[in-house]
Amino acid sequence: MVEITYSPLQSLIVHDILEVDQDSIMRGRVTPAGTMPLYWCDGFLYSFSSLPMTDEVVKDYLKGRIHWAEVQFARLDRYEPVLSLNEEEYKAELKIRVMDTGISELHREFVKWLKTMTKKRSK
């Protein structure tokens, strides 16, 4: 018999946050191999980069702590499953998939925190 254990994350450590315009956040998801998806939750479009999986980061992960090195975000009131970017460099309209992460407790709590951070920064 296989034992299955559910071990939800206990904390998210965000090292840097940048508010950017929507085109910039989409442009950052374009790679030579194609486009990477963006995330959307409760009025925010965002992407994040994780820290490299060093021994310390893996130890934290096993203790329920994850690190996002940088989060870039833009406000987007309504969820759209696909966004278009007219990219002059590629002379094309690029389609970028957007994942609605509203079902994730981690992402909901992150956006709640982000809202408090953006209110503090605007004062």
3 in a structural domain: no
Phi-psi region of 77 (alpha: psi -120 to 50; beta: other; left: phi over 0): alpha
- At 4-25, the pLDDT tens digits run 999 889 999 999 999 999 999 9
104 in a structural domain: yes
Distance CA 80, CA 69 (A): 26
38 in a structural domain: yes
Total number of domains in the chain? 1
Residue 78 carries which DSSP code?
Answer: S
Q: Which residue has the higher pLDDT, 21 or 89?
A: 21
At residue 106, the 3 state secondary structure works out as helix
Instruction: Note the pLDDT of residue 121.
Output: 67
* First vs last C-alpha separation in the chain: 56
What is the rounded average pLDDT for all residues in the chain?
A: 91
102 in a structural domain: yes
78 in a structural domain: yes
Domain hosting residue 102, numbered range: 11-122
80 in a structural domain: yes
**Residue 83 — pLDDT band, cuts 50, 70, 90?**
very high
Mean pLDDT to the nearest integer, 30-45: 89
**Residue 123 — pLDDT band, cuts 50, 70, 90?**
low
- At 91-107, the pLDDT tens digits run 778 899 999 999 999 99
64 in a structural domain: yes
Q: Which residue has the higher pLDDT, 36 or 90?
A: 36
91 in a structural domain: yes
Whether residue 120 has pLDDT greater than 80: no
Whether residue 59 has pLDDT greater than 70: yes
C-beta atoms surrounding 79 within 10 Å: 15
